[in-house]
Structure 1
Amino acid sequence: MFDTPILSKDINYDHVYDPAEDTFLLMDALESEHNNGKFSSDKTTISLEIGSGSGMISSFIIKHKIFGKNNFHLSSDINVLAVNETSKTINLNEHTSRYDTLLMSLLSNIKDKSLDYLVFNPPYVPSDEVPVLSSQDRLSVALEGGKDGMEITNILIHQLSKKLSENGCAYILFCASNKPLEYKEKINHEYNMDLIEKRKCGWEVLSIYRITRK
């Protein structure tokens, strides 16, 4: 089992997402895919984690070369404090790999068909509306996903057809309230959606799906 990255001791979790069960489930899914030979070890690839928060998942990807030894990894967040923490966490754990951190909303600054791998632990908690990022409240945008907790995930998946490379794939986390099986049928005409990991975490049932083009 790959070791877990270390985090800075001074992260302000009032404004940056604290790694929790969903974080570790996603890392377990990526490790499983890596160990099963899903990722090319020789091909030059580009990966992106959206919503990097503390930087734990991106550090895990980079440190253990999850997507291969020739992977260039990008980490992004709309919260500038999270971007800064991600950079610090990566530097604490890895000093030789190629990577960059971006202040960015979803896939807004990504070139068409340039991503081979995408990782997203979205704001999946159902809420009355999607919150707006503010200096007073930077955490709600990492948690609350609007109707069925799916408004942000919906936007992201609509962007995938333009941004993923022809053989690219996305690893996205869902909770039971997101109704992932219904969503799988909804996007069936355009994407394959395969379950990788599923786990009961407290009151939540969380799952990781691999999404690829038809």
Structure 2
Amino acid sequence: MTRCPIPEYVRPLPESVYPPSEDTFLFMDALEKERNHIQTLNPLFACEIGCGSGLIVSFFAKHIAPQSCFCFATDINDECLLTTKSTSKINKVCVDTICCDLLTPFLPRLYRSIDVILFNPPYVPTDEVELMNSQPFLGGTEGIASSWAGGRDGMEVTNRVLNDLDMYLSENGVAYVILLQANKPKTITQKLKARGFKLTVVLKRSSQLELLYLVKIVRLKPPHP
């Protein structure tokens, strides 16, 4: 199988924008592996939460999503949104950008309407002070720290999305999320199962931090009567 080329992105990146790194490339490799499954779903709405440079959502729009799929991206950092918009234009794809905290403004308007969620979250374990200082909605200042400061177990931001996944994800939708070994993937799997979701590992890769996982989350199918 011919590998999809990596999209171009704005260089040099602003200092507050997370540069493409090992987790970014793991994400794109996993999306390529999942391409047939995603296209079988015929998604209409796809969103990247915390888009950074816009490389992942541009890759998705260019190589993975069918033409009928509307792609948008959110971030709390204005510079990330401007960079994502530029990255999408360079790659001749359409990606709408919205400045907001995760997906909070979309309820109830997009209740169970998002077919594909892409999320490379701030997963690094940090103390509460560091987390709060990185988050504008908690009174902190915007900056590059918002792309990696994850609070306790590196999961405080990720959990805000996973806890509301039932409200955002369409009935046959799929969420792709990066996790670190320190995030306790087995515990996350158990919690999601209790909420009616199944987590599977698509790809994993060793990094300078430790083991990175790209996981797929879908609804559990009800048992046959």
Q: TM-score, normalised by structure 2?
A: 0.87
2:215 alignment partner in structure 1 = 209
Q: Which amino acid aligns with 1:210?
A: K
Q: Which amino acid aligns with 1:156?
A: V
SS across alignment from 1:194:
strand
Deviation at 1:202, TM superposition (A): 2.1
Deviation at 1:43, TM superposition (A): 3.5
Deviation at 1:106, TM superposition (A): 1.1
Runs of 4+ in 1 over 6 A off after TM superposition: none
Q: Which has the higher helix share?
A: 2
Q: Measured at CA, do residues 159 and 25 of structure 1 come closer, stay the same or move farther in structure 2, by a change above 3 Å?
A: same
Deviation at 1:180, TM superposition (A): 0.5
Q: Which amino acid aligns with 2:204?
A: K
2: distance between equivalents of 1:47 and 1:188? Answer: 23
- List runs of 5+ in structure 2 lacking aligned partners: 221-225
Q: Which amino acid aligns with 2:71?
A: H
2: distance between equivalents of 1:90 and 1:163? Answer: 24
Q: Measured at CA, do residues 133 and 42 of structure 1 come closer, stay the same or move farther in structure 2, by a change above 3 Å?
A: closer
Match of 2:145 among 116, 135, 140: 140
Match of 1:10 among 12, 23, 26: 12
1:26 alignment partner in structure 2 = 27
Q: Measured at CA, do residues 137 and 70 of structure 1 come closer, stay the same or move farther in structure 2, by a change above 3 Å?
A: closer
1:121 alignment partner in structure 2 = 120
Match of 1:81 among 79, 82, 94: 79
1: distance between equivalents of 2:12 and 2:21? Answer: 17
2: distance between equivalents of 1:102 and 1:211? Answer: 24
2:223 alignment partner in structure 1 = none
TM-align CA RMSD:
1.7
Deviation at 1:137, TM superposition (A): 4.8
2: distance between equivalents of 1:148 and 1:44? Answer: 32
Q: TM-score, normalised by structure 1?
A: 0.92
Percentage of identical aligned residues: 36
Q: State the Cα deviation string for residues 118-161 of structure 1 (Å, max 9, x = none).
A: 00000000001223346965111110100000011111011110
Deviation at 1:69, TM superposition (A): 2.5
1:46 alignment partner in structure 2 = 45
Do the aligned residues in 2 keep the contact of 1:42 with 1:70 (CA within 8 Å)?
no
Deviation at 1:108, TM superposition (A): 1.3
1:159 alignment partner in structure 2 = 164
- List runs of 5+ in structure 1 lacking aligned partners: none
Do the aligned residues in 2 keep the contact of 1:52 with 1:86 (CA within 8 Å)?
yes
SS across alignment from 1:106:
coil
Q: State the Cα deviation string for residues 155-206 of structure 1 (Å, max 9, x = none).
A: 1011110111111110000001001012111221221001100000123210
1: distance between equivalents of 2:143 and 2:37? Answer: 35
SS across alignment from 1:192:
strand
Q: Which amino acid aligns with 2:7?
A: P
Do the aligned residues in 1 keep the contact of 2:43 with 2:116 (CA within 8 Å)?
no
Q: Measured at CA, do residues 42 and 194 of structure 1 come closer, stay the same or move farther in structure 2, by a change above 3 Å?
A: closer
Paired residue total: 208
Q: Measured at CA, do residues 125 and 69 of structure 1 come closer, stay the same or move farther in structure 2, by a change above 3 Å?
A: same
Do the aligned residues in 2 keep the contact of 1:44 with 1:71 (CA within 8 Å)?
yes
Equivalence map 1:178-189=2 (5 Å): 178-189=183-194
Equivalence map 1:54-133=2 (5 Å): 54-64=53-63, 66-94=64-92, 97-110=93-106, 111-129=110-128, 130-131=131-132, 132-133=134-135
Do the aligned residues in 1 keep the contact of 2:50 with 2:120 (CA within 8 Å)?
yes
